[in-house]
A and B are shown apart, each in its own frame.
Chain A
Amino acid sequence: MVTQITSFGRSGLYDWMMQRISAVVLSLYTIFIIGYLLLHPHLTFEQWSALYSSTWMRVFSLMTLLSIGVHSWIGLWSISTDYIKPTGIRFFFQALCGLLMFVYIVWGIQVLWGL
């Protein structure tokens, strides 16, 4: 048993499951957006803003935003523990990733709700 305090859920199984669930959400969102753009070739600002003002779309988008955060954190954490051996640099890299993801999520929520 290797105890890790910086991984996402501290349990290998939990991280693995979250990685897969978030991947499913991300692919559904990608397929939806591509499909929407294909079905609306002459998309107007009104249509686009109507889409994003509906509650279900905001829920779906927020879920995707959180999934990006979780997915990239687990992925980058794995990569950093594989390739960055000096503890100081690895910790700095992980902290930077964590900070970036936090900023992106808060910023994304602000964009989504247009606050």
Chain B
Amino acid sequence: MLVSIYRYNPEVDDAPYMKDYQIDLPAGKDLMVLDVLNLLKAQDPSISYRRSCREGVCGSDGMNMSGKNGLACITPVSQAVKNGKLVLRPLPGLPVVRDLVVDMGQFYKQYEKIRPYLLNDTPVPAIERLQSPEEREKLDGLYECILCACCSTACPSFWWNPDKFVGPSGLLQAYRFLADSRDTATQERLSDLDDPFSVFRCHGIMNCVNVCPKGLNPTKAIGNIRTMLLQRAT
């Protein structure tokens, strides 16, 4: 199989380029894209990429596989190959550090901005803050995000304004804390989001939903934030 990999080492190369590799895959087995990368790394140790848990939990190996963002460790080669060729590129829109490794700084900055932790100004109870099963249920589909950045880097609004638009991942987390019954800073959080960029740069094209490796729905969360803003303002 032919694998084309985005190569860029800023210390040596003037510009990024695509390098082709030929690899024989074991017959009768559908490897994951990460396995293919590991085999290639044995062939050419200079290939750089991030990986850790190799089972879709840590979110380290987000990359663009034949045009679609996803986690290399849980994407079968058969699914990622197009016209007999596997094309691997770094996540789009973020600065490349080397090969498939991107600088996630901008992405984390947006995550930090939404204050991804519980804010509660009531006295701390002796044991814990209780939640009813119904209240807890509201967090399903929100808390599972692993911050792999596949969604935000698939979003054109995030490409054009990564410093101003929070992005699907950050907004999913923003709603996770807006929906949490134990958080008392709802009004403050909403005020921080009510500008023309943070939330409203989302035009609902749903690229985020299309690529999320955990099957989450940031567009729906963004819609819920809009509804909360609207309820507060009318």
- Complex interface residues of chain B between 190 and 211 (CB less than 8 A to chain A): 191-201
CB distance from A13 to the nearest CB of B (A): 5
Contact partners of B164 in chain A: CB under 8 A: 2
B160: chain A residues within 8 A (beta carbon): 82-83
- Beyond A17-B230, A82-B160, A82-B161, is A2–B196 a contact (Cβ under 8 Å)? yes
Nearest CB of A to B227, in Å: 11
A1 to chain B, nearest CB (A): 5
Instruction: Tell me the nearest residue of chain B to A74, going by C-beta.
Output: B196
Q: Is the CB of B195 within 8 A of A2?
A: yes
Interface check A94, CB cutoff 8 A: no
Secondary structure class of chain A's binding surface, majority of residues: helix
Listed stretches A4-12, A38-46, A63-71; interface member = A4-12
Chain A interface size, as a band, is 10 to 19
B55 to chain A, nearest CB (A): 37
> Contacts A81-B161, A82-B160, A83-B160 hold; do A13 and B194 have CB atoms under 8 A apart?
yes
- Please report which residues of chain A, range 1-54, place their CB below 8 angstroms from some CB of chain B when the two chains form the complex: 1-4, 7, 10-17
Q: Which chain B residue lies CB-closest to A17?
A: B230
Q: Which residues of B are found within 8 Å of A7, using beta-carbon distances?
A: 196
A83 to chain B: which residues have CB within 8 Å? 160
Residue of A nearest to B199 (CB): A12
Contact partner of A1 among B157, B161, B192, B233, CB < 8 A?
B192
List the B side residues contacting A81 at CB < 8 Å: 161, 196-197
Contact among A2, A10, A17, A82 with B198 in the assembled complex (CB-CB below 8 Å): A2
The residues of A that contact B230 with a CB separation of less than 8 Å are 13, 17
The CA-CA distance from A114 to B83 in the complex, in Å, is 63
The interface bits of chain A over 60-101 (1 if a CB of B lies within 8 angstroms of the residue's CB, else 0) are 000000000000000000100111000000000000000000
Residue pair B197, A13 in contact (C-beta under 8 Å): no
Question: Is B226 close to A, CB under 8 A?
Answer: yes
Flag if B196 contacts A15 (CB, 8 Å).
yes
Does residue B229 face the partner (Cβ distance < 8 Å to A)? yes
- In the complex, are the beta carbons of A13 and B200 less than 8 A apart? yes
Contact A12 B195, beta carbon cutoff 8 Å = yes
- Determine the chain A residues whose CB is within 8 A of the CB of B194 once the complex forms: 1, 11-13
Q: How far is the CB of A83 from chain B (nearest CB, A)?
A: 7
- Minimum CB–CB distance from B213 to chain A (whole Å) comes to 27
**Chain B residues close to A by CB (< 8 Å):** 157, 160-161, 164, 191-201, 226, 229-230, 233
* Sample (28) of A-B pairs whose CB atoms are under 8 Å apart: A1-B192, A1-B194, A1-B198, A2-B164, A2-B195, A2-B196, A2-B197, A2-B198, A3-B195, A4-B195, A4-B197, A10-B196, A11-B194, A12-B193, A12-B194, A12-B199, A12-B200, A13-B200, A13-B226, A13-B229, A13-B230, A15-B196, A15-B200, A16-B200, A16-B226, A17-B230, A78-B196, A81-B196
Q: Which 9 A-B pairs have the closest CB atoms?
A: A12-B200, A82-B160, A12-B196, A2-B197, A7-B196, A2-B195, A13-B229, A2-B164, A12-B195
In the complex, besides A4-B196, A10-B196, A12-B200, 6 extra interface pairs with C-beta distance below 8 angstroms are A1-B191, A4-B197, A11-B196, A13-B233, A15-B196, A82-B157
